[in-house]
Each structure stands twice: as C-alpha cells, then as structure tokens.
Amino acid sequence: MRQPIVGMELADIQAALGALPDPPPVFRARQLYDAVYRQRVADLAGISNLPKQLRERLALEFLMGLPAVERRYQSSDGTVRYLLKLTDGKTVETVWMPAEVRSDNAGAERATICISSQVGCPVDCKFCLTALLGLERHLTAGEIVGQVLVAGGTAPVDRLNIVMMGQGEPLLNLANVLKATRLLMDPEGIGLSPRRITLSTAGIIPKIAELGQAPLRPKLAISLNASTEEQRQALMPITRKYHLKDLMEACRAYPLRPWEKLTFEYVLLKGVNDTDADARRVVQLLARLNAKVNLIALNPGPGIPFETPDPARVASFQAIIRRSLPCFIRKPRGLDVYAACGQLKRMETGLMQIQ
C-alpha cells in the first residue's frame, strides 16, 4: 500500500526516500518537503523542481494524500463548508470563514479555517450536532494538515488562522494533533505562527498537562459551557470524569507563553445556563486566571433540545463578565449551510452547493 506524503515531516520523507532501491540524492527530500508544504503543490506531477523520472517514480511509490472535496456548501455570508473524503472513504468537515477586508489593506483577505481532529466525536455534548455522529476514528496528522492545504489553497499564511474546533476532541488524538501542529508551524514548511493556531478541548485534564509540555503547541481554548459542576455534567457527560475544580487547577498550572491568554468558550442555552447568576459564577471560576471568554449563542439544529437566548440576554451575560475579564460574543458564521460552531454533522442542505 502506498504511503501518503502529506503528514510526513522532513525526517519521515528522508527515511522513506532513503529506503527506496537506488535512493535519490538526499537533497531531493528537502525539495519534496518544500513543494508539499511551502509551495502547497497539490499533486506529485506538479512538483517542477524534481526531475520527471523521479516524479513518476514517486507517484508509483507514494500518494500525495490530500483529502478529496466531496461537496462544498457556500453560505450567504461567504463561509464555505467542505465535506472532505479521506482515502478510506470516511468523510470529515472543514470550514473556511473569510473575514471582512480591512479598509487599510484593500484586496487582502483574512480567513479562519476550522479543522477537524477526528471523524465524528466521542464527547457527547448535548447541545452539539457533531455529538450525534459518535466517534468513527482518529484522523492522522496528514489528514489534519490536509484540511488546511485543501481549504487554504495558496492563501498567504499571515492571512490565515487555524482553529481545531471542528469534528472531534483534539486532546483525545493528541499525538497526531501535535505532529500536525509541527508541520503547520515549521518555518521551512507551511510556516504558521503559534499565535494563529488554537485548539479547543472539552477539558481532558491529563492531556492538558501533556499539551503544555509540548515544545510546539497551539493556543488552548477550554469549552466551559456551565457555571456549576452539576450543570456541566448534564450538558457535557464526559466531564463526569473530569471535574470542574480539577479543570480549574489544571488551567492555573498550564504554562502560558508571555503573549498568551487561556480562552474559555461558553455556549449560551436559553433558560439553562444564561442567567446573570451564571455569569457571576463564571467570573468567580476564572478569577485567578489570565483568561478571556468567548460567548456563543446556541447555533440550533435538528435533534438539539435547546433554544438560542435572546440578544438582550446574551448582552447582559457579557456585560457582567466584562467587568472582570475580556469577553467577546462570537458571531455565528455559515448558519444557513450548517457550518457554524456545533453544527458539523455532514448535513445535506437545499442551499447552493458549489461543484
């Protein structure tokens, strides 16, 4: 079976080429790595700095390994939801979210790419459509990086932000997530700054400590979503194993870089976790942390037994937290094509599909 190139670090490519009968010169590994990650060439035949004979040989021995675009759904706000097919036929979702063009930088598009770390998700959050899929399998490092290469195309890296907030719990696939992070951050490859990559977790406490020890790692975001232990366990059953008090201790012990804050995400559910008392309890929970809060008014979907709170209720919740901590309301993107946070369930839509 042919190995995929995407997902290999330079040392992996050197070893793979070195294992071939009559291996090519050592410098060819660097050229191949550069073409795949820095130039973002989409197929082996397009690597023009390799001799044609070597390209043909590589095509016999290896796959490029990029996921295939099965469908693309275009939202009215410019967001694109990609349904990507993997080599085993499984599918996963990736979302491209363009930002508004700044007036001082006409024509330069900034964007965020929301990528998945697993096919489906094992966490079973009661307000999330992805939870209804269950877990099918982990993604490889190549399948994680491949989402960025496909959705990002040749967009300049200083215009891209990556959030690991798609399907899956990244910390339950940490080895592959960290390898993908190294590839995304390598200045000789894709070259993204660590400031531009964020990992979101439901709060897998032992893995938070492990992530903090990684030499190259994304920023950390914690999916909080509740102000009490009982409330959080009801909304996020996996947290019955990882208690709120212990999570706060793990966050206090987390080794933040000088420029870094912890992010806490809070999905507001009408009449469930959105009261002023909840907001005050969130402030108390986070009082000793260098943190900020992102509020997300529930993005609805079929089978989700909760409602979206009124804008005035969201604003009141934000105002209480902002007295003590930076607090932002995350604007929903791609609602009309099921691309918003918590909506990734491989849904078909009657709206525009780009062929």
Looking at residue 88, its pLDDT comes to: 94
pTM metric for this prediction: 0.92
Is 327 among the catalytic positions? no
Q: Which of 93, 143, 169, 265 is catalytic?
A: 93
Q: What is the pLDDT of residue 77?
A: 85
> Average pLDDT in the 64-70 region?
96
Confidence of residue 337 (pLDDT cuts 50, 70, 90): low
Examine the pLDDT at 177 and tell me if it is beyond 60. yes
pLDDT tens-digit series, residues 263-306: 999 999 999 999 999 999 999 999 999 999 999 999 887 778 89
Residue 221 has pLDDT above 70, yes or no: yes
Classify burial at 11, counting beta carbons within 10 Å of its beta carbon; exposed 0-12, middle 13-18, buried 19 or more: exposed
342 or 6, which is more confident: 6
Find the catalytic residue in 125, 128, 251, 341. Answer: 341
Give the C-alpha distances (Å, rounded to integers) separating 44 from 47, 58, 66, 150: 6, 7, 11, 15
pLDDT, position 344: 52
pLDDT at 129: 82
Higher pLDDT, 314 or 336: 314
Q: What is the pLDDT of residue 338?
A: 54
Query: Percent of the chain beyond pLDDT 90?
Result: 77
Pair type for strands 68-74 and 62-63: unpaired
Structure tokens at 200: 């979101």
**What pLDDT is stored for residue 78 in this prediction?**
87
- pLDDT over 50 at 353, yes or no: no
Position of tokens 């390898």? Answer: 179
Distance of CA 347 to the CA centre of its chain: 19
pLDDT, residue 106, reads 47
What local confidence, expressed as pLDDT, does residue 350 receive?
A: 43
Where do the DSSP E strands lie in 133-261? 135-138, 160-164, 197-201, 219-223
Higher pLDDT residue, 292 or 237? 292
Nearest CA-CA partner of 114 in 163, 178, 183: 163
Instruction: Taking each helix axis as running N to C, give the angle between helix 311-322 and helix 276-285, from 0 to 180 degrees, rounded to the nearest 10.
Output: 30
Per-residue pLDDT tens digits for 90-121: 999 999 999 865 545 544 578 999 999 999 99
Instruction: Pick 109 or 205 by higher pLDDT.
Output: 205
Asked if the model's pLDDT at residue 339 lies above 90, the reply is: no
Does pLDDT of 345 surpass 80?
no
Task: Name the band, by pLDDT with cuts 50, 70 and 90, for residue 84.
Answer: very high
User: Any catalytic annotation for residue 93?
Assistant: yes
Could you tell me which residues come within 8 angstroms of residue 22 by beta carbon, excluding any fewer than 6 positions away? Answer: none
Q: What is the pLDDT of residue 331?
A: 85
